[in-house]
Amino acid sequence: MKILKKIENNLIEQCVMNKKIAVIPGDGIGPEVTAQSIKVLNAIGQRFGHVFSYEYALMGADAIDKTGSPLPDETVTTCLASDAVLFGAIGHPKYDNDPSAKVRPEQGLLKLRKDLQLFANIRPIDTYKALSHMSPLKAKQLEGIDFVIFRELTGGIYFGKKELAKDGQSASDLCTYSVTEIERIAHLAFKYAQNRRKKLTLVDKANVLETSRLWRKVVQGMSATYPDVTVDYMFVDNAAMQIILYPAQFDVILTENLFGDIISDEASVLSGSLGLLPSASVGNQVALFEPIHGSYPQAAGKDIANPLGSILSAAMLLDHLQMHEEAVVVRKAVDWTLTNGFVSKDIDPINNYATTAIGEIISDFIEKKRDTEKNNNDGDNKSTII
């Protein structure tokens, strides 16, 4: 008996982890939603005996206000010294309508992606039964939607040479890709497809763009190394249409930076709310996790933002740290809140819960402080208009 107990204790000790998380709350609703993810990670720590420690760092408009730079060097150092980065959102309206602003919040995120070499952005597109009424698609088209977008994140037109002619009459943005840049993300996407339904769709504009033809050539060449994966090729204009028309056809979509930015926002509405979608940005060093949504300045400070995109990003962070059981628990908790109507204003404008309340409900569920058998809908900081 004693020996068994000892083995059991050893096993428990082996699984207990100490992880350093760099937290970049960022702008707008970023700090509010990120705070809920921290609650959730702490609840996971409580339940599984892990210790998460957090180091806060500045980026975006917040960083410009405080330091003059959208990405202070210290932020990069903090991220590189961490096991993972949790990021909120970026952007402020005072820069959006000023095309001549020399310093912009978004420059911070772009530079961080480059500095941490986060070359692959992974955006899973899931749907939730409880939210099907919110989707712009008909119920029939929603059946079987389960795909992942692999968006290249550190190359292409985002990072090519940018020029504005002296006379202000013309401008250009260069789009460049190297074989190495294409191969490294394509390997990740192929491997991901191997563990799923084994289908990879390369989205490009190879009928017009030289860079797209290079993507096609490289991916075609690599496909022999992954014979179990079926590869197909789709022009981006057609893909934009197919995502709405017949989204269940997709398994893993691989695409370049700008196309990935556009089609992932498009795909995000399939689930019914942009506020729900998480993402992971990975490279060879530390990985970063952030919701897909932006800084939503109109909602900042009002405790109405949907924290699920951030909380599901924290679940991806747990998966990345090999805490798979923990990630499953977080996703289960999220499912449970959606099914039981503990939802934010974007999902139900009449009967809804505050951002902070949803964070607490999910944390309680994780720590098993909540009776999950019945729907205890009362007294949870619910705002009801009726």
Task: Write the Ramachandran bin of 117: left for phi over 0, alpha for psi from -120 to 50, otherwise beta.
Answer: left
Taking the least distance from each CB to ligand IPM, the nearer of 127 and 268 is 268
Q: What type of residue is 310?
A: S
**Cα–Cα distance, 85 to 78 (Å, whole number):** 9
Residue 370 · residue 376 · CB < 8 Å: yes
Our finding on whether 106 is near ligand IPM (CB under 6 A) is yes
Is 96 marked active-site? no
Backbone angles phi, psi at 149, to 5 degrees: -100, 125
Nearer to ligand IPM, 112 or 229 (CB): 112
Catalytic residue among 27, 62, 261, 303: 261
**Closest chain position to ligand IPM (CB):** 106
Q: Is 126 a catalytic residue?
A: no
Burial pattern 194-231, b for ≥16 Cβ within 10 A else e, equals eeeeebbbbbbbbeeeebbebbbebbeebbeebeebeb
29 CB neighbour count, 10 Å cutoff:
31
Min separation Cβ 355 and ligand IPM, Å: 21
- Out of 41, 64, 90, 361, which residue is the one contacting ligand IPM (CB under 6 A)? 90
Paired tokens of 284 = 């060879």
- By CB under 5 A, residue 256 contacts Mn ion: no
126 binds ligand IPM (CB under 6 A): no
Q: Is 158 a catalytic residue?
A: yes
Query: Nearer Cβ to Mn ion, position 109 or 338?
Result: 109
290 binds Mn ion (CB under 5 A): no
Let me know if 205 is a catalytic residue.
Answer: yes
* Cα dihedral 203→205→206→208 (10° resolution): 180
> Considering Cα of 20, then 289, then 370, then 385, what sign does the dihedral take?
positive
Quote the CA–CA distance of 381 and 386 in Å, as a whole number: 15
Is 219 among the residues that bind ligand IPM (CB under 6 A)?
Answer: no
Q: Is 188 in the site for ligand IPM (CB under 6 A)?
A: no
Applying CB under 5 A, does 152 fall inside the site for Mn ion? no
Question: Any idea how long the chain is?
Answer: 386
Q: Would you say 63 and 124 are in contact if contact means Cβ atoms under 8 Å apart?
A: no
Closest approach, Cβ 294 to ligand IPM, in A, equals: 7
CB of 315 to ligand IPM, least distance (A): 18
Q: Which helix (H) or strand (E) holds 52?
A: strand 51-56
Q: Pull the structure tokens for residue 242.
A: 């197919």
**Interface region with ligand IPM, contact rule CB under 6 A, candidates 104-112, 175-183, 184-192, 239-247:** 104-112
Member of 27, 32, 251, 261 binding Mn ion (CB under 5 A): 261
Which residue ranges make up the site for Mn ion (CB under 5 A)?
Answer: 261
Q: Looking at the annotation, which residues are catalytic? A: 158, 205, 237, 261, 265
Which residue ranges make up the site for ligand IPM (CB under 6 A)?
Answer: 90-91, 106, 109-110, 261
